[in-house]
Amino acid sequence: MAKRLYIVSSGAGGTSYITPEATKAIENSEVIVSYSKYARELKELLKEKEVYTSGMTHEIQRCNQAIQYAKSGKTTSIISNGDVNVYGMATLIVEIMDEKDLWDEIELISLPGVTSFLAAASKAGAPVSQDFSIISLSDRLTDINLIDKRVKAALECDFVLGIYNPKSKKRIKPYQNFLKALENGYENRITIIASNVGRVEKEKITITTAQDLINKDIEHEAVSMSTLIIICNSNSKLTKNNQVLTPRGYLNKYELDGELK
């Protein structure tokens, strides 16, 4: 099929986590469609490409433009930060393709990527070895009451909890509700605050506690829209070198030499 559209995961910030498969898709594309910030970060990969960019909240326009380029016969990539299926562009592209019934006209290829949740976890130690949940606090498309319900359920189920889009300058209520949920017995949970993951010069990983978040409320200097928060579960602990460890449970069942206890 000549008309091809890639949904490309660029990984967690910058170019550190982009996969060879994603890089190859960009190389094979004639046109790149991207959020302006991501295009700037990938500028070395986009040389000599036709590039269409737009700002925040213009996701539908970008998706429609990418589809239009592909329909015209140009191999096209639309860039999505992190992984295309984790608050990325895959869902919207697929939804529009389905609404317009373009499946016989365009070959759609979705390429996975390394999320900031996974990248931050690796940098902090080994905090995500048990079941986990990921929740976005952005209520732009999701009802705030549903967000609150999901946060409460994840904490009650003792998941390792990843929080995307905690707060912006104007959108603070979901974050305040999140902090109130932490006050119900989760104050001592080890907490990882990761900002600008993958963006080497700006990246900052802080290991603290949920109480630190609660104490500083909406004024926490490390928390913004570029921040990922990981609330560890009740089994998580700090290692001797101050890394985060959530034991899988091996040493409850086995000796250090591998023999059953």
Three-state secondary structure string covering the chain: CCCEEEEEECECCCCCCCCHHHHHHHHHCCEEEEEHHHHHHCCCCCCCCEEEEECCCCHHHHHHHHHHHHHCCCCEEEEECECCCCCCCHHHHHHHHHHCCCCCCCEEEEECCCCHHHHHHHHHEECCCCCEEEEECCCCCCCHHHHHHHHHHHHHCCCEEEEECCCCCCCCHHHHHHHHHHCCCCCCCEEEEEECCCCCCCCEEEEEEHHHHHHHHHHCCCCCCCEEEEECCCCCEECCCCCEECCCCHHHHECCCCCEC
Is 256 part of a structural domain of the chain?
no
Is 259 part of a structural domain of the chain?
no
Domains of the chain: total = 2
- Whether residues 28 and 107 share a domain: the answer is yes
In the predicted model, what is the mean pLDDT of residues 168-192?
Answer: 96
The pLDDT assigned to 32 comes to 97
- Whether residues 99 and 135 share a domain: the answer is no
- Whether residues 190 and 207 share a domain: the answer is yes
60-104 pLDDT, tens digit per residue, is 999 999 999 999 999 999 999 999 999 999 999 999 999 999 999
Domain residues for the domain of 28 are 4-114
The pLDDT assigned to 2 comes to 67
CATH of the domain at 179: 3.30.950.10
7-33 pLDDT, tens digit per residue, is 999 999 888 899 999 999 999 999 999
The pLDDT assigned to 114 comes to 96
- Whether residues 96 and 173 share a domain: the answer is no
Give the model's confidence band at 57: pLDDT under 50 very low, under 70 low, under 90 confident, else very high: confident
Task: Indicate whether 1 pLDDT > 80.
Answer: no
- Whether residues 165 and 176 share a domain: the answer is yes
The pLDDT assigned to 126 comes to 97
Give the model's confidence band at 122: pLDDT under 50 very low, under 70 low, under 90 confident, else very high: very high
Task: Indicate whether 225 pLDDT > 90.
Answer: no
In the predicted model, what is the mean pLDDT of residues 125-130?
Answer: 95
Give the model's confidence band at 200: pLDDT under 50 very low, under 70 low, under 90 confident, else very high: confident
Q: Who has greater pLDDT, 132 or 198?
A: 132
Is 250 part of a structural domain of the chain?
no
Task: Indicate whether 201 pLDDT > 90.
Answer: no
- Whether residues 122 and 225 share a domain: the answer is yes
Is 260 part of a structural domain of the chain?
no
